[in-house]
Chains A and B, each alone.
Chain A
């Protein structure tokens, strides 16, 4: 199935990939049910990626596709993001500003604030339409910030009234001579927020990436990431390759040159699948089809595939050998200290597949994980990218592998079932609950922390550091209680309510 870049709004994940947000079983079962991604779908056809899904009777809290637009399109250094929405959609600006500023600082870039403008749609605009306000906001954005591009995040409100965002953007583009890019990310459109990543990338592909690149930059690799520290430059430097970090903290020009690059990689297929696949489809920029670069097996395979595509096999082999020699003694030192510990990974989907591998590699037991959604296949449809399959084949099964969109009430039972010594997270709302159960959390705000060879050492050290304050968490657990009824606290099945509702 090819990606359709002709329409202004992106196809949702559930339509393209058959994404689910509720499932509970073993990792092997899930990998088997996602057979499409393993290249043996048989005769079921392109539209048949269905995994039986558990549906809960209510949702305690979630995230919106529009927020994913905020944390991608809103983090482009010389662009402005307009939120064409009621002011409430701007509630995340404070936290996204802190993440952005931290990210810039970590990357050694000039620290600046996010540049967001909300059209503040109100009752009157819902009745009469918000197009004039949007045109005004674009003008204000151009006058205030002289940006190289302006992104427009749509909202549920603008989507319901059918505001003609496209026309306003086209007119403004003609007037100001810069890309004005509508991103259709209405929260109600998709059940999973990762569609918001795709919406951003869709807009960038349609309106920023150079359509007819005059030159190729044969040593340039697009790296799809978030705010993490710069671990790719030294790593790819070993192969004589340069890094083009996208989407966060890139400039508009860095986004435009993506079509000139040799290949595209990412730290997480959940984030990078759409952009990487489309760059290959539209511009022939190869997407690296390999396991993700985590632990020895994944990193080796990933580096070798990148080396094969870019014709740098010897440099890669030398680097791999050097890194193995450097890192293995460090891990040998860590292993006894980590022996007997049990970890629980609660992160985005593909990222968790990578982290569990790292934990197993450094001798930490993992018999449970929560991922916030599951894509039975990625856009490439290439089985070499089957990150879950790679995990179970290389490191064995995970007994309690759960897909759930981060519901607090379930997270309690999930942790009770496994009783881990620590949890690894990247998202808010999970650590407080774990703390109340006496379990410390390792927040990987820097998504590159556990990546590659050094990542195994980093994560091992972080675990040891986190366990230093285990006593603190146990004290919390002794003194606080959870707001749930005894019947729920005694419930062994985290999906008991869903099964009741589904049956």
Chain B
């Protein structure tokens, strides 16, 4: 096999739009002719829904729970544009160990040489929220994914999660782990939001790969069980995702991140909070004067 498989992991705080972003990247890459696999590493097993018309697929761990021997191919389903959709799956909330689930699922696919045999160009791992335990670090460890991108809005909680991820990557970086590709800045509609995320990026010396505005087109597409690329291919938002996908496909050099330590992060967010409060007060003052 001559071509080199590119493996990418996308992390970010829960609810920040990771699966939406990931699925649109996958769809845009498939549209551009790449052979793509999207691997959902979240016990909710809903990463690939919008690639399959809103439908859930049986997960690797569902299969493992049912049978004695598992053929990994039984957990691979075709989605929009021929994308190979896989969900690691995992336990119900509050029971078992979701992190172990990811270890088990990734190991099974590796052992059965699925990535090689499908002759893929790109595998994208869509990984749940925070790197809370060893299991969630598996996609960035042991040379599985080479590049990590984080989806973050300008909310402090999302930025904290991104910073935590940077710490995880920094930790594994000297032992063959993945490196940081950059930030996908999501739901960025105002200059102010952009300033915050830009400032965090500058402080951590991290490139912003793409600004993705919040858009109703995305919501509409999601509600119809599709990606924006599929549901509104002519929209401006679809072009944003296409540009993002192109940048990711062309991306070659990732680096060791320089996260903020807890004190720095606290001071940084406190300063922005003061700034926000001052701005809000000025706004309120202006409204009163107008009245």
Contacts and interface: CB of A to CB of B under 8 A. Distances in A.
B88 interface: no
Interface string B95-126: 00101100100010011110000000000000
Contacts of B172: 164, 167
A219 to B, nearest CB: 36
Given A167-B172, A167-B176, A162 B138 contact: yes
Interface in A146-175: 159-164, 166-167, 170-171
Interface in B134-181: 134-138, 141-142, 172, 174-177
Nearest to B135: A162
A8 interface: yes
Contacts of B69: 14-15, 18, 47, 49-50
Interface string A1-27: 000101111010011001000000000
B71 A47 contact: yes
Nearest to B177: A167
Contacts of B100: 159-160, 162
A170 B176 contact: yes
Interface in B62-81: 68-71
B133 interface: yes
Contact of A4 (B113, B141, B142): B113
Contacts of A161: 99, 133-134
A131 to B, nearest CB: 9
Contacts of A6: 110
A53 interface: yes
A124 B103 CA distance: 22
Interface residues of A, number: 24
Given A11-B111, A159-B100, A164 B71 contact: no
A129 interface: yes
Contacts of A9: 107, 111
A50 B68 contact: yes
B137 A162 contact: yes
Contacts of B97: 160
A53 B174 CA distance: 46
B68 A8 contact: no
Contacts of B113: 4
Contacts of A50: 68-69
B127 to A, nearest CB: 13
Nearest to A174: B175
A15 B103 contact: no
Nearest to A45: B71
Contacts of A162: 99-100, 103, 133-138
B68 A167 contact: no
A47 B67 CA distance: 12
B141 A129 contact: no
A11 to B, nearest CB: 5
Interface string A114-134: 000000000000000100000
B68 A171 contact: no
30 contacts: A4-B110, A4-B113, A7-B107, A7-B110, A7-B111, A8-B142, A14-B69, A15-B111, A18-B68, A18-B69, A47-B69, A47-B71, A50-B69, A53-B68, A129-B134, A159-B100, A159-B103, A160-B99, A160-B100, A162-B99, A162-B100, A162-B103, A162-B133, A162-B138, A164-B142, A164-B172, A166-B142, A167-B176, A170-B175, A171-B175
Interface of A: 4, 6-9, 11, 14-15, 18, 47, 49-50, 53, 129, 159-164, 166-167, 170-171
List 5 A-B pairs, minimum CB-CB distance, nearest first.
A162-B134, A167-B175, A162-B135, A47-B71, A11-B111
Given A8-B142, A18-B68, 4 more contacts: A6-B110, A14-B68, A53-B68, A164-B141
